[in-house]
Amino acid sequence: MAIFDALCTLNSPDELLAGGLKTAIGSSAEAANFVRSVQNFFPKVKIVLTLRDDIVAQFGSMELAKATGKWHSWVKPEGQLEGKITLDKDRLDAHAVDYLKTVRELQRLKETHEVFEVSYEKDILPGNRQVYHRLFQFSP
């Protein structure tokens, strides 16, 4: 992240209107620490919260990333990924329970901050352009 930030600031104007930081939260315990830190140290920051509605797909994506080492790609894979990995039911159940706790924890930010919530499945996957319009209205 530090290299990305450094490169982005090279061509930045003297006065920035907005800045951002992408954070991936891996557990409800991390979410609690993140919320506490944001509330204590960043009182004026706005939050864009991207949530997954399909917890099974999220878990499968995470397991596939662990198996392949590819955590993000702009290139859509050819064919179906079905059958490439096997999901462990007990680990999926534990993940689902913790994910729901994580979401509840992150939504506590709404008590103290402006939060723009985005659904990965409803807004990002189908390319919902309205969400981008609302996001730019949300930005300072």
At 120, list the tokens: 């990965």
Reported as a single tens digit per residue, the pLDDT across 84-124 is 678 999 999 999 999 999 999 999 999 999 999 999 999 88
Q: Can you give the pTM of this predicted structure? A: 0.75
For residue 38, the model assigns a pLDDT of 94
Q: Which residues on adjacent β-strands are paired with residue 116?
A: 48
For residue 37, the model assigns a pLDDT of 94
For residue 41, the model assigns a pLDDT of 92
Cβ–Cβ < 8 Å for 52, 58? yes
Which phi and psi (to 5°) does residue 78 adopt? -80, 140
For residue 1, the model assigns a pLDDT of 43
Cβ–Cβ < 8 Å for 131, 124? yes
For residue 135, the model assigns a pLDDT of 82
User: Each residue of 30-48: b (16+ CB within 10 Å) or e?
Assistant: ebbebbeebeeeeeeeebe
Query: Kind of pairing, strands 115-119 and 47-51?
Result: parallel
By residue count, the chain amounts to: 140
Side chain identity at residue 3, one-letter code: I
Domain ranges of the chain: 21-74+84-138
Residues of the chain scoring pLDDT < 70: 1-19, 72-84, 139-140
Q: What H or E segment, with its residue span, contains residue 69?
A: none
